[in-house]
Structure 1
Amino acid sequence: MNAIKTIICGAVLSLTVSCQKYLDIVPDNIATVEYAFRMRVTAEKYLFTCYSFLPRMGDMYQNPAMFGGDELWLSADKSWWPNWVVALGNQNVNNPVLDYWNGANSAMALWTGISQCNIFLEHIDQVPDMDDREKAQWAAEAKFLKAYYHFFLLRMYGPIPIIDENLPISASGEEVRVIRRPVDEVFEYVVNLLDELAPDLPNEVRDENSELGRITKPIAIGMKAKVLTYAASPLFNGNTDYAGFTNRDGIPLFNTTYSAEKWVRAAEACKAAIELCHSLGYALYEFEGSQQTRNISADTKLHLTTRGTITERWNNEIIWANTGSTTRDLQVWAAPRVLEPSHVGNQEPNGSIGVTMKVVNLFYSKNGVPIDEDVTYNYSERYALRTSTASEKYQIKEGYTTSQLNFDREPRFYGTLGFDGGVWYGQGRFDDNDPYYLQIKKEQIGGKIQVGWHSVTGYYAKKWINYTNTSVNTGTYTSINWPWVMLRLADLYLLYAEALNEAQGPNPESIRYVDLVREKAGLDGVVDSWANFSKNPQKPSTVGGLREIIHRERNIELALESQRFWDLRRWKTAPEELNQSISGWDVDQVTPEAYYRVRILYDQTFGLKDYFWPIRENDLIVNKNLTQNPGW
Structure 2
Amino acid sequence: MKILRFSLLLIAAVSVLPACNKDFLNQVPDDRITIDQVFARRKYAEEYLANIYNTLPNDAYRNTSPWEGMSDDADITYDRPGSGYDSYPANLGNWSAASNYFNYWPKYYQGIRSATYFMQRIGENVEILALPNGHDLIEQYKAEARALRAYYYYCLLRQYGPVILLGDTPIAGDLAPSAEEMQLPRSSYDECVDYIVSELDLAAQNLPKHFTAQSETDYGRVTQAFCKGVKSQVTLLAASPQFNGNTDYAGFKNKDGKQLISQQYDANKWKRAADAAKELMSGFGLALYRKNDAGGNFDPYLSTRDVFLDPWNTEVIFARTTNGLSGWERSVSPRLCNGYAAVAVTQQLVDEFEMENGKGIRETGSGYVETGFSTTATQYTLKGTYNMYVGREPRFYVNVSYNGSPWINTSEGTKVIETFFTGNTGKKGSWDHPRTGYIARKNLHPNSNPRISQYVARPFVMMRYAEFLLNYIEALNEYDPGNADIAQYLNEIRDRAGLPDVAPGLGQDDMRVKIRHERRVELCLENLRYFDTRRWKIAEQTDGGPFYGMNVDAGTKLTDLVFYQRTVFERRVFRKNYYLQPIPQSEIDRDPNLVQNPGW
Considering the TM-score relative to the shorter chain, is it more than 0.5?
yes
**Aligned pair 1:577/2:542, yes or no?**
yes
- Return the alpha-carbon distance in structure 2 between the equivalents of residues 440 and 605 of structure 1: 26
Task: Give 2:551's match in structure 1, choosing from 573, 581, 586.
Answer: 586
- Return the alpha-carbon distance in structure 1 between the equivalents of residues 119 and 189 of structure 2: 25
Distance 1:296 1:316, change over 3 A: closer
Aligned counterpart, 1:183: 189
SS in 2 for 1:200: coil
Amino acid aligned to 2:443: W
Matched ranges for 1:506-521 at <5 A: 506-521=482-497
Which moved further from structure 2: 583-592 or 412-421? Answer: 583-592
Aligned counterpart, 2:54: 52
- Return the alpha-carbon distance in structure 1 between the equivalents of residues 101 and 77 of structure 2: 21
Would you say the 8 A contact 1:58–1:483 is kept in 2? no
**Aligned pair 1:412/2:383, yes or no?**
no
Task: Give 2:251's match in structure 1, choosing from 244, 248, 252.
Answer: 244
Matched ranges for 1:39-438 at <5 A: 39-79=41-81, 80-102=84-106, 109-130=107-128, 131-165=134-168, 166-168=170-172, 173-205=179-211, 208-278=215-285, 282-289=286-293, 294=294, 301-338=299-336, 348-372=338-362, 374-377=363-366, 382-390=369-377, 393-398=378-383, 400-402=384-386, 404-428=387-411, 436-438=415-417
Would you say the 8 A contact 2:208–2:214 is kept in 1? no
**Aligned pair 1:451/2:441, yes or no?**
no
Would you say the 8 A contact 1:240–1:256 is kept in 2? yes
Would you say the 8 A contact 2:305–2:398 is kept in 1? yes
- Return the alpha-carbon distance in structure 2 between the equivalents of residues 176 and 444 of structure 1: 56
Aligned counterpart, 2:564: 596
Task: Give 1:546's match in structure 2, choosing from 500, 504, 511.
Answer: 511
Q: CA deviation at 1:401?
A: 4.2
SS in 1 for 2:513: helix
Matched ranges for 1:473-622 at <5 A: 475-527=451-503, 541-588=506-553, 589-590=555-556, 591-622=559-590
- Return the alpha-carbon distance in structure 2 between the equivalents of residues 377 and 133 of structure 1: 58
Amino acid aligned to 2:241: P
Distance 1:320 1:388, change over 3 A: farther
Identity score, percent: 31
Distance 1:24 1:493, change over 3 A: farther
- Return the alpha-carbon distance in structure 2 between the equivalents of residues 470 and 462 of structure 1: 13
- Return the alpha-carbon distance in structure 2 between the equivalents of residues 598 and 297 of structure 1: 38
In structure 1, the gaps of 5 or more residues are: 1-20, 103-108, 529-539
Which moved further from structure 2: 123-132 or 239-248? Answer: 123-132
Aligned counterpart, 1:5: none
SS in 1 for 2:283: helix
SS in 2 for 1:193: helix
Q: CA deviation at 1:141?
A: 0.5
Q: CA deviation at 1:263?
A: 0.7
Would you say the 8 A contact 2:76–2:85 is kept in 1? no
Q: Kindly provide the CA deviation profile for residues 537-580 of structure 1, in whole angstroms up to 9, marking residues without a partner as x.
A: xxx62111111110110100001111101111111111110123
Q: CA deviation at 1:598?
A: 1.3
Q: CA deviation at 1:162?
A: 0.3
Q: CA deviation at 1:440?
A: 3.5
Aligned counterpart, 1:7: none
Would you say the 8 A contact 2:425–2:432 is kept in 1? no
SS in 2 for 1:370: coil
- Return the alpha-carbon distance in structure 1 between the equivalents of residues 215 and 119 of structure 2: 25
Amino acid aligned to 1:311: L
SS in 2 for 1:369: coil
- Return the alpha-carbon distance in structure 2 between the equivalents of residues 32 and 260 of structure 1: 52
Amino acid aligned to 2:201: D
Would you say the 8 A contact 1:353–1:456 is kept in 2? no
Would you say the 8 A contact 2:474–2:515 is kept in 1? yes
Structural RMSD (CA): 2.4
Task: Give the alignment's TM-score, normalised by structure 2.
Answer: 0.89
Distance 1:357 1:123, change over 3 A: same
Task: Give the alignment's TM-score, normalised by structure 1.
Answer: 0.84
In structure 2, the gaps of 5 or more residues are: 9-27, 129-133
- Return the alpha-carbon distance in structure 2 between the equivalents of residues 329 and 297 of structure 1: 33
- Return the alpha-carbon distance in structure 2 between the equivalents of residues 314 and 580 of structure 1: 40
SS in 2 for 1:143: helix
Amino acid aligned to 2:395: R
Amino acid aligned to 1:418: S
